[in-house]
Amino acid sequence: MNNSAAIEVLGLKKSFGENHAVQGVSFNVNQGEIFSLLGPNGAGKTTTISMLSCLLRPNDGDANIMGHSISTDPMGVKSVLGVVPQDLALYEDLTARENLSFWGKMYGLRGSTLKTRVDEVLNVIGLRDRANERVGKYSGGMKRRVNIGVALLHKPKVIYMDEPTVGIDPQSRRNILDSVVLLKNEGMTVLYTTHYMEEAQELSDHIGIMDHGKLIAHGTHDELVKMVGQQTRIDLTLNGNADQVMAAWKETEGVSRVTSDEGLISVLVQDSNLTLPHLFEAATKHSARITSVNISEPNLEAVFLHLTGRALRD
Amino acid sequence: MKAFDIALKDMTRSFRSTFAVIFMFGVPLLVTGMFYFMFGNITDEGGFTLPKTQVVIANLDEGGPKFQVNPKNIPGGKEADSMGDLIVSILQSEDMADLIEITLVPSAETARTAVDNQESQVAIIIPTDFSHQFADVDGKAVIEFYQDPTLTLGPAIMRSILNRFMDGMSGVKIAVNFFVDEAEPEQLFLTGQVVDQYLEVSLAENDDPEVELLDVRNPVDGQKNDAAENQNLLLSIIGPIMGGMMVFYAYYTGTSTAQSILKEEEERTLPRLFTTPTSQATILTGKFLSVFMTVSVQIIVLLIAAHLIFGIEWGGFASVALMAIGIIVSASSFGVFVNSFLKDTKQGGVLFGGILTVTGMMGMIKIFAMNSAIANKMGDTISLLVPQGWAIRGLMQAMGGESFNNVALTVLVSFLWSAAFFAIGVWRFNRRYT
Ligand SMILES: Nc1ncnc2c1ncn2[C@@H]1O[C@H](COP(=O)(O)OP(=O)(O)O)[C@@H](O)[C@H]1O
Ligand SMILES: [Mg+2]
């Protein structure tokens, strides 16, 4: 076993009848890093998380969480694990404090330790002031935060967060993304699933891209982008002499392709910082003005498109 | 310990739900309270008694064809030699003493004055030719009923008793008329025997509520104190009603609390529980414990509340304790059992409403059929086909002061039901989540 791997996934498979939801997924997550599983709805992210939390028994394969096998030592797995389920799993008729207190007990906390931890977590999720209100009265974002708080009580070594930002306001979303980084800084290993490319890009040390039950690529953000050889695209508009300018741009160093579509010119470059000044010079030389510029860095959206031929968000 | 935490959490949730609390405590007490006010009223001391009606009777009947009625057929047991005497002795009988207090006066005028002066609530005047009219085919035997118009309950009870009596007597009248027509004059003394025979048959078959009501009254301690007897009469009516309500709603609570397993599955908190380092056995034990504890609180509160509010005596402490445990265990295991067959709470709404109502009614049939001996026998058999029936049987036995052993035997049967229900329920739930 790899000593630095907090999560080791070994060929997990799960089918629901004819639906092969997860088809042999393997990856490692190092201790103290954030690993994102990125994929559209139905990719098999939740099914994978469920197997890794010992809720679903895999048809095949195994996984070790901090060295505990999900098939032979589920109690060991559960004791090092905090799970933030995709669906809110809270008692709406109990207050936030009562919820945290109850779940803390389920994680084996008692007495003053429990009380202290509940207060600490209430601070982390920013709900200390409203801790004694029933969860049912909370907004969607506040519920999400309690949902996360429950998984933090026992200071787990590993935490799973299954699409924790779905359907909430931008402010709660920011709060949650920030707290994920805080968890990492405290040394927790985070397995994060999302279908938002930006989240995966912002948070992750490593990203696994899932589609149709398979992990189709994984690595760092840069590795993934390089792997598919994507370049930065610069979209520009000109106020005249387009043909001459485009011809000049094609000859410019660092430019690999120039295309135009109804007045919008797209230039593919290796590095926009180096090449962009040359594009302006060439335009000036031909007495044309650049009236707009838009730079698109290579991103996971493009990677996903490249790998599957489909957009990430349908 | 964790199982206990789960149970406490569930109880907090249950008792926080207004809906659940109303059905747990409110409805059974309210229904019983309704019957309470139907059958009794509050005295100044705060206790409840049936009102005793003051009745003044002027029996002017001069008799008709000579007859003698066998005293054993008259509730009071006195001999009577006119129809008027017969009525008076029935009204004066011990069984009626709970309901009415009789004063005999010599004239119709005195009787009416007693009512006018509010010394009595009802005056009954039996005319001089009452027996004659009674024996005459075309005769009209009429009793004058004179009441204080401002009163309702007392005179109504009185009127109802009298009506029942007269209804019964119209059968006698036909028999007597027939006999008088057919008989030779020297055989007329036999009229008494005809009335006698008729009374023997008709009183034995009589299942009218008033008569049964009196039969049901069964003073536990044999006291002959008036107030105590009224109290006993009232309690003999509402005790079983409260008991039936309690059993019915204990089963309701058992079923709806056990349904929290399905509810938690839908709320996703059950799967989340399974991601904590808590074994499935502990989680399910916690859920079952919560059912048991919630029903326990309900039963204990209801037993005490019914005693304090209505003065219901549930029986000896050991019997009541055992009977209560029997109800709690069987209601809880029934809940676990029924829910283990449901897919989700949506199914539960329709299904367990029906199951609970049908089995609950079957179990309580005895209480509703109290007024009729035949229905009572059948009700006994039917009710024992469902666990509620055994719970109610234990309850009635404890209330009726039967021996601890008898109660224990019934509760033992309850436990057997429970063991079977619980075993099946646990097995099914365990399999469901493995
Ligand atoms: N309990 C289940 N029973 C049957 N099919 C399921 C179940 N859970 C998930 N699936 C199916 O498995 C596939 C993967 O689902 P899921 O893991 O939830 O995807 P994601 O979380 O990436 O959106 C989907 O086709 C889904 O319909
Ligand atoms: Mg999902």
pLDDT tens by residue, B321-355: 999 999 999 999 999 999 999 988 888 876 666 88
Q: Residue range B95-121: average pLDDT?
A: 83
Range ranked top by mean pLDDT from B4-8, B69-73, B83-87? B4-8
Chain B hits for A149, CB-CB cut-off 8 Å, are none
Res. B366: pLDDT tops 80: no
| Alpha carbons B332 and B292: distance in angstroms, whole number | 5
**What residue's CA is closest to ligand 1, atom 25?**
A42
Asked if residues A65 and A77 have their Cβ atoms less than 8 Å apart, the reply is yes
Chain B hits for A106, CB-CB cut-off 8 Å, are 2, 5-6, 273, 276-278
- SS3 category, A153: coil
- Give yes or no for residue A44 CB within 6 A of ligand 1: yes
Contact: A103, B276; criterion CB under 8 Å: yes
What pLDDT does residue B204 have?
43
Res. B271: pLDDT tops 90: yes
Q: Could you tell me which of A295, A313, A306 has the C-alpha nearest to residue A199?
A: A313
Chain B hits for A91, CB-CB cut-off 8 Å, are 9, 13, 267, 269
Contact: B17, A79; criterion CB under 8 Å: no
For residue A151, give the chain B residue with the closest CA: B276
* Spacing, Cα B52 to ligand 2 middle (Å): 74
| Alpha carbons A98 and B322: distance in angstroms, whole number | 35
Edge-to-edge strand order for the sheet containing A214-219? A81-84, A158-162, A189-194, A34-38, A206-211, A214-219
Q: Could you tell me which of B414, B261, B242, B191 has the C-alpha nearest to residue B323?
A: B414
For residue B272, give the chain A residue with the closest CA: A89
Contact: A107, B277; criterion CB under 8 Å: yes
Contacts of A111 (CB under 8 A, 6+ apart): none
pLDDT category, B95, cuts 50, 70, 90?
low
Chain A hits for B279, CB-CB cut-off 8 Å, are 75
Q: CA A50 from chain center: how many Å? A: 17
**What residue's CA is closest to ligand 1, atom 1?**
A16
Give the ligand 1 atom nearest the CA of A37.
22
User: Which of B9, B17, B271 is the closest to A55 by Cβ?
Assistant: B271
Give the ligand 1 atom nearest the CA of A41.
23
Q: Residue range A277-281: average pLDDT?
A: 92
Asked if residues B247 and B364 have their Cβ atoms less than 8 Å apart, the reply is yes
CB of A79 within 8 Å of a chain B CB? The answer is yes
Contact: B17, A93; criterion CB under 8 Å: yes
CB of A54 within 8 Å of a chain B CB? The answer is yes
Res. B49: pLDDT tops 80: no
What pLDDT does residue B321 have?
93
- Give yes or no for residue A46 CB within 6 A of ligand 1: yes
Chain A hits for B2, CB-CB cut-off 8 Å, are 105-106
CB of A93 within 8 Å of a chain B CB? The answer is yes
Ligand nearest to the CA of residue A48, numbered in listed order: 1
Q: Residue range A222-232: average pLDDT?
A: 78
User: Which of B13, B272, B273 is the closest to A93 by Cβ?
Assistant: B13
Percentage, residues of chain A above pLDDT 90: 66
What pLDDT does residue B365 have?
76
For residue A49, give the chain B residue with the closest CA: B275
Q: Using one digit for the tens of pLDDT, what is the confidence trace for B180-199?
A: 555 555 555 555 555 555 55
* Spacing, Cα A3 to ligand 2 middle (Å): 29
What pLDDT does residue B150 have?
62
Chain B hits for A93, CB-CB cut-off 8 Å, are 13, 16-17
Res. A285: pLDDT tops 80: yes
Res. B179: pLDDT tops 90: no
Contact: B9, A90; criterion CB under 8 Å: no
- SS3 category, A267: strand
Res. B72: pLDDT tops 60: no
- SS3 category, A26: strand
For residue B282, give the chain A residue with the closest CA: A106
Rg of chain B over Cα atoms, rounded to whole angstroms, equals 28
CB of A102 within 8 Å of a chain B CB? The answer is yes
Tell me how close the Cα of A150 comes to any Cα of chain B, in angstroms: 10
Contact: B5, A75; criterion CB under 8 Å: no
What mean pLDDT, rounded, does chain A reach? 90
What pLDDT does residue A20 have?
93
* Best to test chain A binding among B270, B275, B282 (most A CBs inside 10 Å): B275
Contacts of A143 (CB under 8 A, 6+ apart): A88, A90, A135
Res. B126: pLDDT tops 70: yes
Q: Using one digit for the tens of pLDDT, what is the confidence trace for B226-264?
A: 555 556 666 777 788 888 888 988 998 999 899 999 999
Contact: A93, B267; criterion CB under 8 Å: no
Torsion angles phi and psi, residue A210, rounded to 5? -110, 140
B296 compared with B132, residue with greater pLDDT: B296
Tokens representing B25? 């405590």
Contact: A89, B269; criterion CB under 8 Å: yes
For residue B13, give the chain A residue with the closest CA: A93
What pLDDT does residue B243 have?
87
Q: Residue range B66-86: average pLDDT?
A: 61
Q: Are strands A189-194 and A34-38 parallel, antiparallel or unpaired?
A: parallel
Q: Where is average pLDDT lowest: A78-82, B10-14, B218-222, B224-228?
A: B218-222
Q: Could you tell me which of B276, B33, B77, B184 has the C-alpha nearest to residue A55?
A: B276
CATH of B53-217, one of 1.10.10, 3.40.1710, 3.30.360, 3.40.50: 3.40.1710
A281 compared with B50, residue with greater pLDDT: A281
- Give yes or no for residue A21 CB within 6 A of ligand 1: yes
pLDDT category, A297, cuts 50, 70, 90?
confident
What pLDDT does residue B54 have?
82
Q: Which amino acid is at B102?
A: I
What pLDDT does residue B403 have?
87
What pLDDT does residue B45 have?
42
What pLDDT does residue B375 have?
58
> Which domains are present in chain A?
5-226 (3.40.50.300), 231-297 (3.30.70.100)
- Predicted ipTM? 0.82
Tell me how close the Cα of A262 comes to any Cα of chain B, in angstroms: 52
Res. B316: pLDDT tops 50: yes
| Alpha carbons B85 and B104: distance in angstroms, whole number | 11
| Alpha carbons A104 and A123: distance in angstroms, whole number | 15
Three-state SS letters, chain B: CHHHHHHHHHHHHHHHCHHHHHHHHHHHHHHHHHHHHHHCEECCCCCEECCCEEEEEEECCCCCCCCCECHHHCCCCCCECCHHHHHHHHHCCHHHHHCEEEEEECCHHHHHHHHHCCCCCEEEEECCCHHHHHHCCCCCCCCEEEECCCCCHHHHHHHHHHHHHHHHHHHHHHHHHHHHHHCCHHHHHHHHHHHHHHHHHHHHHCCCHHHHHHHHCCCCCCCCCHHHHHHHHHHHHHHHHHHHHHHHHHHHHHHHHHCHHHHHHHHCHHHHHHHCCCCHHHHHHHHHHHHHHHHHHHHHHHHHHHHHHHCCCCCCHHHHHHHHHHHHHHHHHHHHHHHCCCCCHHHHHHHHHHHHHHHHHHHHHHHHHHHCHHHHHHHHHHHCCCHHHHHHHHHHHHHCCCCHHHHHHHHHHHHHHHHHHHHHHHHHHHHHCC
List the 139-168 stretch of A: residues with Cβ below 8 A of B.
Answer: 150
What pLDDT does residue A22 have?
94
* Spacing, Cα A49 to ligand 2 middle (Å): 9
Contact: B275, A83; criterion CB under 8 Å: yes
- Give yes or no for residue A45 CB within 6 A of ligand 1: yes
For residue A156, give the chain B residue with the closest CA: B276
Beta strands in chain A (DSSP E): 5-16, 19-30, 34-38, 60-65, 68-69, 81-84, 158-162, 189-194, 206-211, 214-219, 232-238, 255-261, 264-269, 290-296
> Domain segments of chain B: what residues?
2-42+228-432, 53-217
Percentage, residues of chain A above pLDDT 70: 97
For residue B279, give the chain A residue with the closest CA: A75
CB of B267 within 8 Å of a chain A CB? The answer is yes
- Give yes or no for residue A19 CB within 6 A of ligand 1: yes
pLDDT category, A263, cuts 50, 70, 90?
confident
Contacts of A178 (CB under 8 A, 6+ apart): none
- Give yes or no for residue A39 CB within 6 A of ligand 1: yes
* Best to test chain A binding among B272, B284, B434 (most A CBs inside 10 Å): B272
Contact: A85, B273; criterion CB under 8 Å: no
* Spacing, Cα A164 to ligand 2 middle (Å): 10
* Best to test chain A binding among B276, B282, B283 (most A CBs inside 10 Å): B276
Q: Residue range B39-54: average pLDDT?
A: 54
Tell me how close the Cα of B150 comes to any Cα of chain A, in angstroms: 53
Tell me how close the Cα of B12 comes to any Cα of chain A, in angstroms: 8
What pLDDT does residue B60 have?
87
| Alpha carbons B49 and B154: distance in angstroms, whole number | 12
* Spacing, Cα A160 to ligand 2 middle (Å): 12
Contacts of A142 (CB under 8 A, 6+ apart): A127, A130, A172
